[in-house]
Amino acid sequence: MDERRQQTIEKRRRNKALLWRFLKGSKALYAVSILSAGITALADMAEPQVIRMAVDNALGGKEAHYMKPVMTVVNALGGFSYLGSHIWIMALAVLAIASVRVFSQYTFRVSNTKASETLVKTMRDQLFSHIERLPFSWHMKNHTGDIIQRCTSDVDTLRNFVSEQLTNVFRIVLLVILSLSFMLSMNRKLTLISFLPLPVIVLYSLIFYRKVSEGFLQCDENEGKLSDMVQENLTGVRVVRAFAAERRERERFEAQNEYYTGLWVKLGKVLSLYWSSQDILSGVQMLLVVVFGASFCISGEMTSGEYIAFLAYNTMLIWPVRMLGRMLTEMSKAGVSIGRIEEIMSAEEEKDLPDASEPPLDRDICFEHVSYAYENGPEILHDISFTMKAGSTLGIIAGTGMGKSTLMLLLDKMINLPEGHGRITIGGVDIRRIKTAWLRKNIGFVMQEPFLFSRTIAENIAIAAPSVEPEDVRAASRAACLDETVTSFTKGYDTFVGERGVTLSGGQKQRAAIARTLISPAPIMIFDDSLSAVDTETDARIRAELEARFGTASIILISHRITTLSKADRILVLDSGRISQEGTHEELIRQEGVYREIYEIQSGIREEAI
Residue 481's CATH number:
3.40.50.300
- DSSP letters spanning 467-513: T--HHHHHHHHHHTT-HHHHHTSTTGGGPBP-GGGTTS-HHHHHHHH
Answer yes or no: do 586 and 513 share one domain.
no
Q: 555-566 in b/e burial notation, b at 16+ Cβ within 10 A? A: bbbbbbbbbbbb
Asked if the structure places residue 350 within a domain, the reply is no
Answer yes or no: do 491 and 576 share one domain.
no
Answer yes or no: do 300 and 152 share one domain.
yes
Distance CA 283, CA 519 (A): 73
For residue 444, what are the β-bridge partners?
525
**Kind of pairing between the strands at 524-528 and 443-446:** parallel
Answer yes or no: do 400 and 457 share one domain.
no
How many CA within 13 A on the CB side of residue 123? 28
Answer yes or no: do 513 and 593 share one domain.
no
What integer pLDDT is reported at residue 305 of this predicted model? Answer: 80
How many helices (H) and strands (E) would you count in the chain? 25, 10
Answer yes or no: do 217 and 335 share one domain.
yes
What integer pLDDT is reported at residue 534 of this predicted model? Answer: 67
Asked if the structure places residue 543 within a domain, the reply is no
Asked if the structure places residue 353 within a domain, the reply is no
pTM attached to this predicted model: 0.71
User: 312: domain CATH number?
Assistant: 1.20.1560.10
Answer yes or no: do 148 and 297 share one domain.
yes
- Tens digits of residue pLDDT in 268-316: 887 787 777 777 877 888 888 888 888 888 888 888 887 888 888 787 7
What integer pLDDT is reported at residue 609 of this predicted model? Answer: 46
Asked if the structure places residue 351 within a domain, the reply is no
Asked if the structure places residue 548 within a domain, the reply is no
Asked if the structure places residue 546 within a domain, the reply is no
How many CA within 13 A on the CB side of residue 461? 32
Asked if the structure places residue 545 within a domain, the reply is no
Answer yes or no: do 199 and 299 share one domain.
yes
CB of 206 within 8 A of CB of 127? no
What integer pLDDT is reported at residue 583 of this predicted model? Answer: 92
Q: In the listed set 345, 376, 395, which residue is the last one of a domain according to the structure?
A: 345
What integer pLDDT is reported at residue 122 of this predicted model? Answer: 92
Total structural domains in the chain? Answer: 3
What integer pLDDT is reported at residue 599 of this predicted model? Answer: 86
Query: How large is the angle between the packed helices 304-345 and 246-299, nearest 10 degrees?
Result: 150
First to last CA, the chain: 72
Kindly give the parts of the chain with pLDDT less than 50: 1, 607-610
Answer yes or no: do 400 and 516 share one domain.
no
Answer yes or no: do 340 and 373 share one domain.
no
Q: What letter would DSSP give residue 161?
A: I
Distance CA 496, CA 516 (A): 16
Residue 452 to residues 122, 206, 512, 516, 534: CA-CA distances in angstroms?
28, 51, 8, 10, 17
For residue 557, what are the β-bridge partners?
395, 527
Answer yes or no: do 398 and 460 share one domain.
no
For residue 395, what are the β-bridge partners?
557, 571
Domain that holds residue 433: 358-442+523-537+553-610
- 423-426 sheet: strands from edge to edge: 379-388, 365-373, 423-426, 429-430
**Kind of pairing between the strands at 423-426 and 429-430:** antiparallel
Answer yes or no: do 417 and 463 share one domain.
no
Asked if the structure places residue 120 within a domain, the reply is yes
